[in-house]
Amino acid sequence: AAMRYTEARLARFAEVLLREIRLGTVDWVDNYDDRLKEPSLLPARLPHVLLNGAAGIAVGMATDVPPHNVREIAAACVRLIEEPATSLETLCELVPGPDFPTDAEIITPAEELRALYRKGAGSVRMRARYEVEQGEIVITALPYQVSGDRVLEQIHQQMQAKKLPLVEDLRDESDHTQPIRLVIVPRSRRIDHEQLMLHLFATTDLERSYRVNMNVIGLNGRPQVKDLRTLLLEWLSYREQTVRRRLQYRLEQVLERLHILEGLLIAYLNLDEVIAIIRENDEPKPVLMSRFGLSDRQADAILDMRLRHLARLEEVKIRGEQTELDKERQDLERTLGSARRLKTLIRKEIESDAQTYGDARRSPIVQRAAAEALDTASITPAEPVTVVLSARGWVRAAKGHEIDPSTLSYRTGDAFRSACRGRSNQQAVFLDSTGRSYCVAAHGLPSARGQGEPLSGRLNPPDGATFEAVLMGEESAQYLLATDAGFGFIVGLADLQTKNRA
> CA dist 353 to 29, 74, 75, 347, 360, Å?
28, 9, 11, 10, 14
Residues 317, 324: contact at Cβ < 8 Å? no
Q: Given the DSSP bridges, would you call strands 54-57 and 62-65 parallel, antiparallel or unpaired? A: antiparallel
Do 127 and 207 touch, CB atoms closer than 8 A?
yes
Active site includes 5? yes
The answer to whether 387 and 472 have CB atoms below 8 angstroms apart is: yes
Angle between the N-to-C axes of helices 70-82 and 339-357, in degrees from 0 to 180, rounded to the nearest 10: 170
Kindly give the residue spans of alpha helices, DSSP state H, lying in 204-227: none
Residue 289 near residue 278, CB atoms below 8 Å: no
Residues 6+ apart with CB under 8 A from 76: 91, 94, 95, 228, 232
**Residue of 445, 427, 443, 444 whose CA lies nearest to 500:** 427
Of 5, 210, 438, 479, catalytic: 5
Q: In what order do the strands lie in the sheet with 121-127?
A: 54-57, 62-65, 207-213, 121-127, 105-106
Helix (H/G/I), strand (E/B), else coil: 154: helix
Question: In a 10 Å sphere around its CB, with 0-12 CB exposed, 13-18 middle and 19+ buried, how is residue 6 labelled?
Answer: exposed
Backbone angles phi, psi at 70, to 5 degrees: -60, -50
Distance CA 56, CA 68 (A): 17
* Residues identified as active-site: 5
